[in-house]
Amino acid sequence: MTKHIKISDFLKQHLQGEHGVALNAILSDVVDACKKIAVAIDKGAVAGNMGSLGSENVQGEVQKALDVITNDIFVEACQRSGYVAGMVSEELVDVIDVADEHKKNGDYLLMFDPLDGSSNVNVNISVGTIFSILKSASKKPDLADYLQSGAAQICAGYALYGTSTMLVFTTGNGVNGFTLDADSNEFLLTHPNMQIAKETQEFAINMSNYRFWREPVQRYIDECLQGEEGDRKKDFNMRWVASMVAEVHRILVRGGVFMYPTDTKSRSGKLRLMYEANPMSFIVEQAGGASTTGSQRILEVQPSGIHQRVPVMMGCKSEIDRIAAYHQVTA
């Protein structure tokens, strides 16, 4: 059997330079958090994790929904290193201050979505965790310190809780994927230097929103659907998992594009810039792909709020360039 490198050894070997020590510590905590989240998800209904907030189980104990459980796991694990000055979670309206006992000299910011695709939980389909690390200008960050464009990220990654649990991340030097080995409970490097295929015949979009999309998106999808007989002269396949992590992972492994564009129902798009679109865009670009709002590279969007939404189109570079060009035509 191939001997795979443990993630802890990989971090020691590969994280050097200005952020090396801090990133090693923060990522080690992220690894720990994702392992714990994998266990919580895996237990599912057996642990009573599927209930909604406020409901009671048969013992009269209040059940906690998995999105709250996973948020608490992530915050608890990731404040320990002493390098994190503050966090932002999809689950919490305000920024999260690091507990006093963990406050040291941290000046890094951690943005995360602890359970992406959470509507999949009750039907036992893949979900994920997404994270992004920024450097703060201050050890006591205020809102302005958080509002950095995605180009400033020093690390981004996701965990995918699928048929196996994987952790994929970049620090701006390529993308590497690790699979959780159930025997040793270690993440092992199984997908070194992940690259997005230069050509594709697969797209992922929620087709039920077709009538709400803008013309450039309808045009792109229409052409894909015309297949061999249309201008594209090739047939396209479609996938929709309803979990961005699973869609992006599929694109890293076998190519494609993922789209959650703006539409007349949600004029800013559905997905969140700082802990969904930005980290995934950083990974996709580092794997040779591209990412756009339609009119702008996502990593260059200047955020105005920590929970800001943004239209998202990412994946195979030649397809994303085509989609951006269609937006130019109608701009």
108 or 220: whose CB is closer to ligand AHM? 220
Strands (E), the chain: 84-89, 96-97, 108-116, 127-135, 155-161, 165-170, 175-181, 186-191, 202-204, 237-238, 257-260, 271-272, 290-292, 309-310, 312-315
Question: Minimal distance in Å, beta carbon 241 to Mg ion?
Answer: 13
113 annotated as belonging to a binding site for a ligand: yes
Alpha-carbon Rg for the chain, nearest whole angstrom, is: 20
106 annotated as belonging to a binding site for a ligand: no
Question: Minimal distance in Å, beta carbon 327 to ligand AHM?
Answer: 20
Which range, of 54-62, 113-121, 173-181, 222-230, touches ligand AHM by CB under 6 A?
A: 113-121
Contact flags string 115-144 toward Mg ion, x per CB under 5 A: -x----------------------------
Max CA separation in the chain (angstroms)? 65
Question: Minimal distance in Å, beta carbon 115 to Mg ion?
Answer: 7
At 257, phi and psi to the nearest 5?
A: -130, 150
Number of residues that bind Mg ion (CB under 5 A): 2
Give the count of alpha carbons within 13 A of 110, CB side only. Answer: 35
Q: How far apart are CA 62 and CA 181, in angstroms?
A: 33
Which range, of 105-113, 148-156, 184-192, 305-313, touches Mg ion by CB under 5 A?
A: 105-113
Q: Per rule CB under 6 A, is residue 206 in the interface with ligand AHM?
A: yes
42 annotated as belonging to a binding site for a ligand: no
Question: Minimal distance in Å, beta carbon 117 to ligand AHM?
Answer: 4
Burial 124-157 (b: 16+ CB within 10 A, else e): eebbbbbbbbbbbeeeebeeebbbbbbeebbbbb
Question: Minimal distance in Å, beta carbon 249 to Mg ion?
Answer: 14
Indicate the annotated binding residues for substrate.
Answer: 116-119, 206, 270
Binding site for ligand AHM (CB under 6 A): 90, 113, 116-118, 206, 242-244, 260, 270
